[in-house]
Chain A
Amino acid sequence: MEEKHKEIDRGNAVIQIKGLKKSFGDLHVLRGVDLDIFKGENLVVLGRSGTGKSVLIKIIAGLLKPDAGSVNVLGDDVASLKPKELDQLRLKIGFSFQNSALYDSMTVRENLEFPLVRNVRDLSRADIDAAVEEVLENVGLSQTINQMPSELSGGQRKRIGIARTLILKPEIMLYDEPTAGLDPITSIDINNLINEVQERNHTSSIIITHDLTCAKMTGDRVAMLLDGRFERQGTFDEVFNTDDERVKAFYDYNFIQ
């Protein structure tokens, strides 16, 4: 499998994280994280379960408060934003949840309309329908428009979850374990979709995963979270070209040659 190559402008950071710390009781998950994400870049965050990968993107989206450090997203310090300002910022961030988090009492159409009608005023019925159809077409699931989430497969749910975030045309995408629980073929489809979203919507993304195939296919850069810090960053090959046993064990388990 070829490593992904895309030229990234390293002078334009859309997310800047400095000295970020977060603990839950005695469990110190993030112990001083520093990280920049650049415009148009797909950054893959790798790490073992429980190392704080999901916590990191929840802090970026303002769902969790950090204990120390700063997170600057598109020029705004997330922790110091008032609720309305945070909502304005969230309109520019798409969050794809690990289990898709589709609203299970609503159809696919209602799921997609939900953020749109509540955040974009003065839309006609035709505008809403056109937006819904466009994002569904982009994820290749136009036929599911009237289905309930319970009628969809795992891969379809992931796609609809991504479509729901895309309907607000975000500048930043946060993917939490996009291929978790999916078969290899569906996982490749999702990886391709992540790259399509990057190309078509010019988004900058953080992809949380421990699937190295996903990391290699989607990541312009890889950062590995070890003991609460990003100890290794770079291209996929740069990160894994090491004698560090913790990194090698991660690589060996995924059987990538």
Chain B
Amino acid sequence: MSKPNTKPDEAEAEKPVITRRLDQVFLDLNDVAQFVARFFREVFVPPYEGKEIIRQCYAVGYKSLGLISLTGFITGIVFTNQSRPSLAEFGATSWLPSLIAIALVRALAPLVTALIASGKVGSNIGAELGSMRVTEQIDAMEVSATNPYKFLVVTRVLATTLTIPVLTLYTMFVGLMGAFVNVTANEQTSFPSFIQEVFGAITYLDLFSSVIKSFFFGFTIGMVGSYKGYNSSKGTEGVGKAANASVVTSMFLVFIEELLALQIVSALRGG
């Protein structure tokens, strides 16, 4: 029976919990879709915030370099060390450089870089924009006839999208250096033959697919951090939640994208 006099709020309250939650999920998805679509609407339209993009690239790239160097190098050493016993069983330790190169270039370097960036850069973007929302700095930009989305979100998303692929290439390099240190200490392999083995194992498809994948990782990390921070609720609790949600959501999405990329690249390889 219809209830023509029921107010919208009352009608909402009468819905089962599951329906209300589903409604909210779709409303949230719509919100996210609009936020992402706004990026593509605004990124090509002047004025361009070139100076701010460079500043953000510096913040994302240069300031993550220390952590990326350390984690990349250690990943190279540890992965080499852990792989040796399995290969030694077949007397195939000479394949270590090839194995490490494939693992690092195809999966480890993009993933390690994206996860480090999610933690360091994503949380930073979420907290910074969240704090700007709470202290009305975003409102201040809006009332001074400046587009805060363009200045804050477009610049950060561009910076992560452009910088994380470069950091991924750097992680590949330091990871391989870590692997070389371990290999040369145990197998006395020379640097030229290590490099020869590495480049003999990887293909252009490996390299390009990883770089392209990293563009998506970078875009995701910047977008998630910006969305969570830009829409953070009032109060300092909201800032903390924005930072935390930025890390958790972007890490989750990075793994989903990795899985999708794996399927696509496998199909391209013909199996």
- B237 is an interface residue with CB less than 8 A from chain A: no
By a CB distance below 8 angstroms, the chain A residues around B132 are 103
Selected from B128, B139, B144, the residue in CB contact (under 8 A) with A164 is: B144
By a CB distance below 8 angstroms, the chain A residues around B137 are 101-104
Please judge, given known A-B contacts A101-B136, A103-B137, A118-B47, whether A95 and B143 are in contact too, CB under 8 Å: yes
- The proximity string for B residues 102-137 relative to A, scoring 1 for CB distances below 8 Å and 0 otherwise, is 000000000000000000000000001000100111
**Judging by beta carbons under 8 Å apart, are A118 and B146 in contact?**
yes
**Judging by beta carbons under 8 Å apart, are A95 and B140 in contact?**
yes
Bound CA span A105–B156, Å: 14
- B145 is an interface residue with CB less than 8 A from chain A: yes
**Judging by beta carbons under 8 Å apart, are B145 and A91 in contact?**
yes
Bound CA span A81–B135, Å: 26
Number of A-B pairs, beta carbon distance below 8 Å:
56
39-78 of chain B: CB within 8 A of chain A: 47
- A93 is an interface residue with CB less than 8 A from chain B: yes
Q: Which of B136, B142, B145 is packed against the most chain A CB atoms within 10 Å? A: B145
**Judging by beta carbons under 8 Å apart, are B136 and A87 in contact?**
no
- A99 is an interface residue with CB less than 8 A from chain B: yes
Question: Please, which residue of chain B has its CB at the minimum distance from the CB of A97?
Answer: B136
**Judging by beta carbons under 8 Å apart, are B140 and A119 in contact?**
no
Question: Please, which residue of chain A has its CB at the minimum distance from the CB of B131?
Answer: A104
Bound CA span A61–B142, Å: 9
- A115 is an interface residue with CB less than 8 A from chain B: yes
Bound CA span A73–B137, Å: 23
- A109 is an interface residue with CB less than 8 A from chain B: no
Bound CA span A105–B51, Å: 14
Q: List 29 A-B contacts (CB under 8 A).
A: A58-B139, A61-B143, A63-B143, A87-B145, A88-B145, A90-B142, A90-B143, A90-B144, A90-B145, A95-B139, A97-B139, A99-B135, A101-B135, A101-B136, A101-B140, A102-B137, A103-B132, A104-B135, A104-B137, A105-B128, A114-B141, A114-B144, A114-B146, A115-B144, A115-B146, A118-B47, A118-B145, A119-B145, A119-B146
Known: A63-B143, A102-B137, A119-B146. 8 other contacts (CB 8 A): A58-B139, A61-B143, A88-B145, A95-B143, A98-B136, A104-B135, A115-B144, A164-B144
